Amino acid sequence: MKKYTSLSEIQALIDQKKLVLPDLLDHYFTQIETHKDLNAFNEVFFDSAKKQAQEVQEKINQGTAGKLAGMVIGIKDNILYKDHSTTASSKMLEGFISPYSSTVAERLIAEDAIIIGRLNCDEFAMGGSNETSYYGPVKNAADPERVAGGSSGGSAVAVQADLCLSALGTDTGGSVRQPAAFCGCFGFKPTYGRISRYGVIAYASSFDQVGTLTSSVTDAALLLEVLAGADTHDSTVSRLPVPDYVSRLSDTGKKKIAVLKETLESEALDADIKGAILTAIDEFKAQGHTVEYVSFDLLDYLVPAYYVLTAAEASSNLSRYDGVHYGYRNLQAENLNSLYKKSRAEGFGDEVKRRIMLGTFVLSAGYYDAYYQKAQRVRRLIRDRIEVLFESYDVILTPVAPTPAFKIGENMQDPLVMYMADIFTVLASLSGIPAIAVPLGNNPEGLPLSLQLMAKHFEEDVLLSLAESFSTPKRL
């Protein structure tokens, strides 16, 4: 069965009268049913998606369709979509129906994208393998015994297995880029504040950013055009003008690329990933870009600072789930105190509870200065160091993850091993800069490999154009 890899391809077939949206939707419904064992979707929106397909097809026939007409897209199960269930893959929100739509969902619909369903993820976006979901792990289409990556694992597998054309995820410390790397697609995290977080269930508010998972750079650029921009509902969103990212993909200007040498010297880095990145570096040089190795001696501080800060923010954000206002409630509680305890103990999974406890600890009296304040100072130091690097370079290059996708259950009993898998992605998150995971083909076992590119704040066009010029069909 044919796999669609770009919106332009679909729109060309529609223009040629070789494809209509109801048939396209049926194609994806069939794919979802065929690959339901991958557990990518928590729910498929059969009825509303069919209605959207009919309405958009009529607009196409009348010549009034939006720029995303023909895009069938899935959304991570922490992004609100009015009158549809949203659970963040948690028992705590089982049965919750969104009373309003997120800004990103509204902007997709305004440009006639079809939202096909909500995608499985780690519970409340806390995890790096999509194994903490209340609905069970997502399986990698390249090898169903291996993880999809997390927390946006369902989003990555949906694109990988052709269950929808593209998907939205959220990236707190790598949760779009790492699953994209494990599944062989493009995972793009814009600058913090480039896209509104209104209607996105919060994990760590100063880190969370909506991102995209696509099979082409062009679709990532087009989605960013649609999703980015000021929003009166979110005071953290940038008011900077939104460029025409698609037209800027043709920029062939030569870039200065800094490779953080400590990331390639890490003993944890898989040999196949290192080899693929070294080959990619040679290709960048062959294209006329300048590539230099630079030192970044703060690598060991990234993961500790990230987890102290995000756990602290999570403990605050998740305090609203108390069994009183909405969500799971223990009905046997004898008083208010036991209602809180039992509802939260039963509604949250182990990883969420672990991070809430860690966050509460680092914010507590006597430990706030020793941990939280110190982590904030480290974050500032990291950001300052990155800004100094960008005075001399246009792009920073690193691996995305130390290894390809690992086996389901392999690391679940050792949280520290799981946390250290974020060592290369949290740099962009701590400093708020844009980053993209770019596929590099597969290793001998058929598992996808990837590299990461990062650029200055709000220079998404630099990343996208470089990724576009580098990528070729043989890598996808």
The answer to whether 424 and 399 are in contact (CB under 8 A) is yes
Q: What totals of helices (H) and strands (E) does the chain contain, helices first? A: 16, 13
Is-catalytic flag, 175? yes
Crossing angle of helices 46-62 and 21-34, in 10° steps, is 150
What's the CA dihedral at 31, 159, 82, 460 to 10 degrees?
-160
Choosing from 89, 129, 175, 431, the catalytic residue is 175
CA distance linking residue 430 with residue 183, whole number of Å:
24
- Max CA distance (Å), the chain: 71
- The two structure tokens encoding residue 68: 């995303």
Looking at residue 33, its amino acid is E
* Main-chain phi, psi angles of 461, to 5 degrees: -60, -35
Nearest C-alpha neighbor of 310 from the set 376, 398, 236, 387: 376
C-alpha pair distances (Å), 453 with each of 16, 154, 301, 417:
37, 23, 20, 24
DSSP states along 127-146: -SSS-S-TT---EETTEEEE
C-alpha pair distances (Å), 132 with each of 191, 209, 351, 360, 424:
27, 20, 7, 20, 21
SS (H, E, C) 422-469: CCCCHHHHHHCCCEEEEEEEECCCCCEEEEEEEECCCCHHHHHHHHHH
Radius of gyration of the chain (CA): 21
* Main-chain phi, psi angles of 116, to 5 degrees: -90, -20
Neighbours of 446 (CB within 10 A): 10
Is-catalytic flag, 76? yes
Q: Where are the beta strands (DSSP E) in 173-331?
A: 186-189, 209-214, 256-260, 290-294
Choosing from 151, 155, 215, 343, the catalytic residue is 151
Residue with tokens 């403990």: 315
**397: which strand partners?**
259, 453
Is-catalytic flag, 250? no
The answer to whether 463 and 211 are in contact (CB under 8 A) is no
CA distance linking residue 29 with residue 363, whole number of Å:
46
Bond prior to 151 in cis (omega within 30° of 0) = yes
Choosing from 76, 189, 342, 456, the catalytic residue is 76
CA distance linking residue 212 with residue 426, whole number of Å:
17
Residues labelled as active-site residues: 76, 151, 175
